[in-house]
Chains A and B, each alone.
Chain A
Amino acid sequence: MLNESDILALIVTLKLAGLTTLILLLLGTPLAWWLSRTKWRFKFILEGVIALPLVLPPTVLGFYLLILLGPKGPLGDLMASLGIHSLAFTFSGLVIGSVFYSMPFVIQPLQNAFTAIGRRPMEVAATLGASPLDRFFTVALPLARPGFITAAVLGFAHTVGEFGVVLMIGGNIPGETQVLSIAIYDHVESLQYTQAHWLSGGLLLLSFIMLMSVYAINGQFKVGRNDH
């Protein structure tokens, strides 16, 4: 069965995935909305940047974040001069890494959902006296509900499954930065196959249940439309 450090890893993983998803939904909603409405000529540049984590090896992303956030990196330098401890090998650093790593999985479903709504419902709401903010909350958000469910579940599940980025900038500190995927790797390395089985099986089941729920709730849910 699970030992204490496994349970710690599970808690760290769920905390990380939950926090990452929350941050991404909060930051991603306005960004996805803007991307779905803007006529800016160079929006493809931003879309390319957002999609990068889909194709980039997580280790590359982790490497650059390590350089950026590490004690010798530009951001690390700045923070050190402000008296803030380096973010590398901390839970906060892990959250920052995960936000980048899972970004496309949250933003793309949201952007697709907002684009699918079209202009009409917003125009209708305007003619009924709803201000821009009012119609965003009372029309756009409810109509994009399937997109939010997809975004939340994909963002969460994808963060749970992260390995490379964590390894690069998180290290392997139990209770702080050791997540499930790393714990599994440790168990396999030290030939503790029973433990590895328990964790892997659990993760498999969790991921499957989450994705199945999305399909069940959204009906017409499409994972791969723009994602992979």
Chain B
Amino acid sequence: MTIEATFKITKKDFILDVDFSIPSKGVTAIFGPSGCGKTTLLRAIAGLEPCRGAHLKVGDMTWQKGHYCVPTHKRSLAYVFQEASLFSHLTVKGNLQYAIKRVPLSNRKVSLERAIELLGIEPLLERRADQLSGGERQRVAIARALSVSPRILLMDEPLSALDLTRKREIMPYIESLHDELDIPVIYVSHSPDEVARLSDHLVLLEKGRVTAQGETGKMLTRLDLPLAHGDDAASLIHATVAEHDDEYNLTYLDFPGGRFTVARKSLPIGFSVRLRVVARDVSLTLAHQSGTSILNIFPSTIDDILSEGRSEKVVQLNVGGVTLLSRVTHKSASLLKLQKGQLVYAQIKSIALLSDKH
């Protein structure tokens, strides 16, 4: 199942001209700088942006083709807007009921109770929208979107209006949607961190055009794309919980390139996890170091090297088929005589466990 979209929309300050096909499962992130047309694209998918001659197919549903256009309220979708969009004349419960009342009984896959439970908004039900904090409002908005039992969930930077604390408060809820509900999500974002955490598939948008798309893990480490550059550059690694070490209180995580050692996590054996390794936290040595406190050291081959600014380089490594990025200085690169195809040891200082995904 895929989502196929062709749009050409002329706005005052830019033209959105896209033609792409993405998998209609998991989370697809649409990533790009402000003003690149991300929101316009999402609105077009929802039918909120008038456009002629567009083509849009979501799974087996054709929403737009030539002059044929299904109006927004007849598209089985839900939309979470950037800023809180709760109805101010209704309570939290009223907002949720507004959504669920309009779903035919036979299509109700997500019950009101389930949505309330997933987003943890039970204590807020009787309150009005203006009595909620920004984070609470966005949680209610997500719960309301889920109560529609949509065939696709569209999210337009749902975290961008929130401070870091609120973001951390909501992130786990969004992550859990992935596992709990089998609803494809299109997630618009300009935050590399959110993209790495939440998405499986990534579409890069620049000046109204799709510049690249693919699996998020691969896209993050492609040196020809902007995500592999900058201070946030990181690699995504999928691993499974292999065993726990009771003596040192550690957990071992297996991935195709070897075995990670991390502080103990209370996760069952065989559980799939997603790890994020920041390029700055990966250093290189020519020989396997023994006198070091670093536990995560993997033999790897250099696939590519690119200069990053005047003093640093990004090194793309291959660790048993998994791509890893490393940031080193020009000086280190020339001292170690780094070159493509060379065998080096990647020492990983820290690993972030992102989420518990399959």
Q: Which A residues lie at the B interface, using CB under 8 A?
A: 120-121, 123-132, 134-135, 138-139, 142-143, 145
Contact = CB atoms under 8 A, between A and B. Distances in A.
Nearest to A126: B72
Contacts, number: 58
A143 B89 CA distance: 6
A128 B85 contact: no
Interface in B176-212: none
A145 B89 CA distance: 10
Given A123-B48, A124-B79, A138-B98, A129 B148 contact: yes
A128 B89 contact: no
Contact of B72 (A121, A127, A145): A127
B78 A127 contact: yes
A120 B98 contact: no
A128 B99 contact: yes
A121 B73 CA distance: 13
B31 interface: no
15 contacts: A120-B85, A121-B87, A123-B79, A124-B85, A124-B87, A126-B47, A126-B73, A127-B48, A127-B73, A127-B145, A128-B148, A129-B74, A130-B98, A132-B73, A143-B88
Contacts of A135: 73
Q: Which of A121, A128, A132, A142 lies at the interface centre, i.e. has the most chain B CB atoms within 10 A of its CB? A: A128
B102 A129 contact: yes
Given A129-B99, A138-B98, 18 more contacts: A121-B87, A123-B72, A125-B87, A126-B48, A126-B72, A127-B73, A127-B78, A127-B145, A128-B78, A128-B99, A128-B148, A129-B74, A129-B103, A129-B148, A131-B73, A139-B87, A142-B89, A145-B89
A130 B101 CA distance: 10
Contacts of B145: 127
A120 B81 contact: yes
Given A142-B89, A143-B88, A143-B89, A128 B81 contact: no
B87 A127 contact: no
Contact of A121 (B47, B85, B99, B144): B85
A124 B148 contact: no
B77 interface: yes
A134 B47 CA distance: 18
B46 interface: yes
Contact of B73 (A120, A129, A142, A143): A129
A101 B148 CA distance: 47
Contacts of A121: 85, 87
A148 to B, nearest CB: 13
Contacts of B72: 123, 126-127
Shortest beta-carbon contacts, A-B, top 4? A129-B102, A127-B79, A126-B72, A142-B89
Contacts of A125: 73, 87, 98
Contacts of A129: 73-74, 99, 102-103, 148
Contact of A127 (B77, B88, B89): B77
Interface in B134-163: 144-145, 148
Interface string B54-87: 0000000000000000011110011101000101
Nearest to B150: A127
